[in-house]
């Protein structure tokens, strides 16, 4: 070994990198002395004393710090608390009708009074655009502006003139001259009349982007489904989060949204606990693309189109102790690169098609939901006459089904307990109780 190699090895060892390259973890935070008596230190976001009192602002329709009944008073409250470093906004009993989403800043607690604190939204309006807007513009012109006001949250939708895909842009109307509106931000997409662009007063009730450390607790969110168009869950929902960390939703009801109840995209360490998401047009809870380590525990997900939808690349999550009843398509759906998740001790009842679906996605080399554990669940009465309790499709592999109670209490008909598709890889079936089906297990894999 020459002198250069010897010196390089010593250099890497000093950095702790030689241990990493050998498969041994480098020194972690746990090697530091414990922090036993923290002080408030400027810029230190990791440790802080447990203060006996923090700022609390009440919002109500009377006898409150801030009085009102719409999104403006709620937004003013959360912005005020955030400006002073965080605290609690307490939403007193009443119905608050929103014309725009309430955008949540970091380090706040939004606390309601349960069923008595209701956030809902106006009926949606839709108008065609009357003039072309280019990607660099910050304004639109509507054919009919009736029903739209300055301050409204909107979504602009059009067909992309280049590739035929759908363009979706969320904005706020901030100024007006007749049917001509200025937006809070530039378009950054073309809205040409050839793509039949529209403007709709659709928005989440609560939303945020690039924030962290927020608690939403004991609130009721009602999407006014009967009077609103559908809004895709990749952009909206009663609660919609994008690129956020460490959010907790506890004791929250999300209902009657023409879309998803709770949706979060590329959000990490999100907790949804003791919530009730019901009667939404699409998904009850939607841990969205790339979200890591979601914890979905002790919720009721009822009468949505689908109860729990693991989206793309959701990993290391836990769904435990949830009740998913009467969802029109699936109790749980898991698929594209959703790996290393655990679904344990849930009750999945009366699903319209399938209790748990492992989706097929053949567009890539390895896009399936691999290395997932399904353990200790009760899966009853799934689908119609040819319903399936657990359906494993595509090239899904390393699925473990352990100690589940899988039952059909109606007539057997053509119903199946567990169906394993012909291209599936390793599937472990261990100590499951399967009763009442025409076929307990159908394994379609070709013998090798």
DSSP readout, 124-152? P-EEEBSS-B-TT--EEEBS--TT--TT-
Distance, in Å, from the CA atom of 126 to the CA atom of 169, rounded to the nearest integer, reads: 14
The topology under which CATH files domain 126-200 is Elongation Factor Tu (Ef-tu); domain 3 (2.40.30)
All structural domains of the chain with their residue ranges: 56-122+204-443, 126-200
Structure tokens at 323: 């009740």
The answer to whether residues 97 and 201 touch, using CB atoms and an 8 Å cutoff, is no
* Strand partners of residue 343: 319, 374
Distance, in Å, from the CA atom of 117 to the CA atom of 265, rounded to the nearest integer, reads: 26
CA distance between the termini of the chain: 49
Ordered per-residue pLDDT tens for the chain, 448 residues: 444 344 444 434 444 433 433 444 455 656 889 998 899 898 887 888 888 888 999 999 999 999 999 999 999 999 999 999 999 999 999 999 999 999 999 999 999 999 999 999 999 999 999 999 999 999 999 999 999 999 999 999 999 877 878 999 999 999 999 999 999 999 999 999 999 999 999 999 999 999 999 999 999 999 999 999 999 999 999 999 999 999 999 999 999 999 999 999 999 999 999 999 999 999 999 999 999 999 999 999 999 999 999 999 999 999 999 999 999 999 999 999 999 999 999 999 999 999 999 999 888 888 999 999 999 999 999 999 999 999 999 999 999 999 999 999 999 999 999 999 999 999 999 999 999 999 999 999 975 4
Are domains 56-122+204-443 and 126-200 of this chain identical in fold?
no
Please report the pLDDT score of residue 29 as a whole number.
58
Planar angle of CA 78, 81, 83, nearest 5 degrees: 105
How many C-beta atoms lie closer than 10 Å to residue 111's C-beta?
20
Quick one: DSSP state of residue 320? E
CATH number of 56-122+204-443: 2.160.20.10
Place of tokens 């049917």: 179
Is 133 exposed, middle or buried (CB count within 10 Å of its CB: 0-12, 13-18, 19+)? Answer: buried
How many C-beta atoms lie closer than 10 Å to residue 72's C-beta?
16
Distance, in Å, from the CA atom of 431 to the CA atom of 155, rounded to the nearest integer, reads: 50
Listing DSSP states for 258-273 in one string gives SS-SEEEES-BS-EEE
Structure tokens at 402: 């352990």
């Amino acid at each position: 070994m020459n002198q250069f190699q010897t010196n390089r090895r010593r250099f890497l060892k000093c950095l702790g990198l030689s241990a990493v390259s050998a498969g041994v973890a480098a020194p972690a935070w746990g090697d530091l002395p414990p922090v036993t008596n923290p002080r408030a230190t400027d810029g230190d976001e990791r440790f802080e004393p447990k203060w006996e009192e923090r700022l609390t602002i009440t919002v109500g329709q009377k006898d409150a710090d801030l009085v009102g009944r719409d999104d403006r008073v709620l937004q003013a409250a959360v912005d005020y608390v955030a400006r002073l470093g965080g605290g609690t906004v307490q939403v007193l009993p009443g119905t608050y009708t929103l014309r725009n989403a309430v955008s949540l800043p970091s380090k706040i607690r939004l606390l309601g009074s349960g069923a008595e604190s209701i956030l809902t939204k106006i009926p949606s309006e839709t108008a065609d655009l009357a003039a072309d807007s280019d990607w660099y513009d910050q304004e639109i012109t509507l054919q009919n502006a009736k029903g739209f006001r300055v301050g409204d949250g909107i979504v602009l939708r059009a067909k992309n003139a280049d590739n035929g895909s759908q363009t979706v842009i969320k904005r706020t109307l901030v100024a007006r001259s007749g049917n001509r509106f200025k937006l809070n931000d530039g378009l950054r997409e073309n809205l040409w009349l050839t793509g039949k662009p529209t403007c709709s007063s659709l928005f989440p009730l609560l939303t945020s982007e690039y924030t962290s450390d927020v608690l939403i607790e004991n609130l009721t969110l009602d999407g006014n489904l009967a009077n609103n168009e559908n809004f895709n869950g990749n952009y909206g929902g009663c609660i919609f989060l994008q690129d956020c960390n460490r959010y907790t939703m506890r004791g929250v009801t999300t209902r009657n949204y023409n879309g998803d109840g709770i949706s979060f995209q590329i959000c990490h360490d999100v907790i949804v606990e003791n919530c009730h998401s019901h009667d939404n047009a699409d998904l009850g809870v939607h841990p969205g693309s790339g979200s890591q380590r979601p914890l979905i525990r002790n919720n009721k997900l009822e009468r949505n189109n689908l109860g729990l939808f693991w989206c793309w690349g959701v990993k290391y999550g836990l769904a435990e102790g949830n009740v998913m009843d009467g969802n029109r398509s699936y109790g749980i759906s898991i698929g594209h690169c959703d790996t290393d998740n655990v679904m344990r001790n849930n009750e999945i009842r009366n699903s319209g098609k399938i209790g748990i679906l492992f989706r097929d996605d053949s567009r890539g080399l390895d896009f399936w939901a691999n290395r997932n554990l399904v353990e200790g669940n009760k899966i009853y009465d799934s689908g119609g006459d040819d319903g399936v309790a657990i359906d494993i499709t595509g090239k899904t592999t390393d699925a473990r089904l352990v100690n589940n109670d899988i039952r059909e209490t109606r007539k057997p008909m053509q119903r199946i307990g567990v169906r394993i598709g012909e291209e599936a890889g390793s599937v472990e079936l261990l100590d499951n109780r399967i009763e009442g089906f025409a076929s307990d297990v159908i394994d379609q894999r070709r013998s090798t």
